[in-house]
Structures are given as structure tokens and as C-alpha cells.
Amino acid sequence: MSGINKVILVGHLGKDPEVRHLDGGVTVASFPLATSETYNKDGKRVEQTEWHNIVLWRGLAEVASKYLQKGKLVYIEGKLRTRSFEDKEKVKKYVTEIVAENFTMLGRKSDFEQSPSTTLSSSQHTEPKIDDEFTIHPSDENGDLPF
């Protein structure tokens, strides 16, 4: 049966997006995103940071690589996906990622100098242009990702 698998994050990029071009010309970008939570433990302020593996495909990857950098604040919507892979010692490992479906840059305009403030979506039509609405359409999000 159908179900819902939705993730909503607001956090800062831990690194610049890393871009790869797969065989067949598909672009994939990925970066770590930090979401922090502050709470009080025994009278002391404690900050707990959670790191998320964000993956973006095709047009969305291209826009991300252009406009997102380490430190930027971003809203990301996507879905959870757990993949298995073999490390260098041929040991099977699992990693859970957030496959982004759209993102919106938050924070002050000056933080995104070259870009308009806008929402980027993985499922729309026009090609990205500077100073325009970025609307992207990836047709295949099921390719294998070699990392």
C-alpha cells in the first residue's frame, strides 16, 4: 500500500556540496547538513547537533552546487532512503540519506549573493536561470550512487 516518507529539515551546510557526474550524464550532489537542538540538562545549556547526509539529483544537484555553500542556512524537504554499500575492506555497510525533493534558501539575501531567494523543486519544468524561479525536473531518482 502507499505510504508517506517525508523529511523536513532546517539547518546549515557542514561543507560545500560535492558534485559527481555519473555515467549517462546524471548529476548528483551531496553534503552534510547540521540541525542543532538546545536543551537544558542539570541546569547547563547543552547543544546537540545531528548530522544528515543530503543527496540531490540532476537539476536539483546543479542548482545546489551553484547556490549552496558551507555555512548557509537552508530548508530541505525530501525522503529517507537507506542504502547498502561495500567499504574498501568489502564489508557491507548501511547509510541513511535524505534524498532532497526541494529546498529553499533561508537567511539574509547577502548570504546568497549571486542568487535570488527562491524555492528549488525536484519536480518541475523550466531549466534553472539566475534571477529566475529555479524549477527543475529530474526524471530518474533511482540511479545507483557510487559513494
Partner DNA sequence: TTTT
Contact residues for DNA (CB under 7 A)? 1, 11-15, 32, 34, 36, 47, 49, 51, 70-71, 73, 108-109, 117
Q: What DSSP line would sit under 21-86, residue for residue?
A: E-TTS-EEEEEEEEEEEEEEETTEEEEEEEEEEEEEEHHHHHHHHHH--TT-EEEEEEEEEEEEEE
**What CA–CA distance (Å, rounded) separates 101 from 123?**
7
Which of DNA, its own copies, none does residue 15 bind to, with CB < 5 to 8 Å depending on kind? DNA
Which of its own copies, DNA, none does residue 42 bind to, with CB < 5 to 8 Å depending on kind? none
Residue 90 engages its own copies in binding (rule: CB under 8 A): no
Position of cell 500500500?
1
Residues that bind its own copies (CB under 8 A): 1-12, 34-41, 45, 48, 50-52, 73, 75, 77, 79-82, 91, 93-96, 104-109, 116-119, 121, 123-126, 131-133, 137, 139, 142
